[in-house]
Amino acid sequence: MREALEGSQAIARAVALCEPDVVAAYPITPQTHIVENLSKLVADGELHTEFVSVESEFSAASVVLGAAASGARAYTASSSQGVLLMAEVLFNIAGMRIPLVMTVANRAVSAPLNIWNDHADSMAVRDSGWIQLHCENNQEAVDTTIQAFRISQETDLPVMVCMDGFVLTHTMEVIDIPTIAQVRKWLPPFEFKRALDPSDPKSLGALVGPDFFPEVRHSHHAAVTKALPVIEKTDRSWARAFKRGCGGLLTTEGPKDAKIGIIAMGSTVGTLRSGLAKTEDAGVRLIKLRAFRPLPEEALREATRGLDHLIVIDRAISPGLGGILGTEIKAVLYGTPDAPRIHNHAIGLGGRDIPETIVGDLLSAIEDPDATPFSVFDADLTMLPPEDR
Question: Which candidate, 27, 22, 60, places its Cα nearest to that of 42?
Answer: 22
Question: Which candidate, 159, 152, 150, 97, places its Cα nearest to that of 122?
Answer: 159
Q: According to CB under 8 A, which one of 126, 285, 293, 343 is a site residue for another protein?
A: 285
The answer to whether 260 contacts another protein (rule: CB under 8 A) is no
Q: According to CB under 8 A, which one of 43, 216, 241, 277 is a site residue for another protein?
A: 277
The answer to whether 254 contacts another protein (rule: CB under 8 A) is yes
Q: According to CB under 8 A, which one of 67, 74, 104, 249 is a site residue for another protein?
A: 249
Q: Which long-range contacts (CB under 8 A, 24 or more apart) does 361-366 make?
A: 362/262, 362/311, 362/313, 363/260, 363/279, 363/282, 363/284, 363/311, 366/260, 366/309, 366/311
> Taking CB under 8 A as the criterion, which residues in 181-210 touch another protein?
none
Question: Which candidate, 74, 71, 236, places its Cα nearest to that of 143?
Answer: 236
What is the torsion angle, in degrees rounded to the nearest 10, for the CA atoms of residue 135, residue 49, residue 63 and residue 92? -40
Stretch that binds another protein, among 49-57, 82-90, 216-224, 275-283 (CB under 8 A): 275-283
- Chain centroid to CA 241: 23
> CA 221, CA 336: separation in Å to the nearest integer?
23
Instruction: Tell me whether residue 84 or residue 299 sits nearer to another protein (CB atom).
Output: 299
Q: According to CB under 8 A, which one of 73, 273, 315, 345 is a site residue for another protein?
A: 273
The least CB distance from residue 214 to another protein, in Å, is 34
The answer to whether 255 contacts another protein (rule: CB under 8 A) is yes
Phi, psi of 376 (to 5 degrees): -85, 95
Question: Residues 300-339: x/- map of binding to another protein (CB under 8 A)?
Answer: --xx------------------------------------
Instruction: Tell me whether residue 56 or residue 357 sits nearer to another protein (CB atom).
Output: 357
Stretch that binds another protein, among 146-154, 223-231, 241-249, 334-342 (CB under 8 A): 241-249
Question: Residues 31-70: x/- map of binding to another protein (CB under 8 A)?
Answer: ----------------------------------------
First vs last C-alpha separation in the chain: 51
Strand order in the sheet with 309-314: 250-253, 284-289, 260-264, 309-314, 341-346, 374-376
The least CB distance from residue 147 to another protein, in Å, is 15
DSSP code of residue 64: H
> CA 92, CA 130: separation in Å to the nearest integer?
10
Residues near another protein, by CB under 8 A: 2-4, 6, 115-117, 166-167, 170-174, 245, 247-256, 267-268, 270-271, 273-274, 276-278, 282, 285, 299, 302-303, 351, 353-356
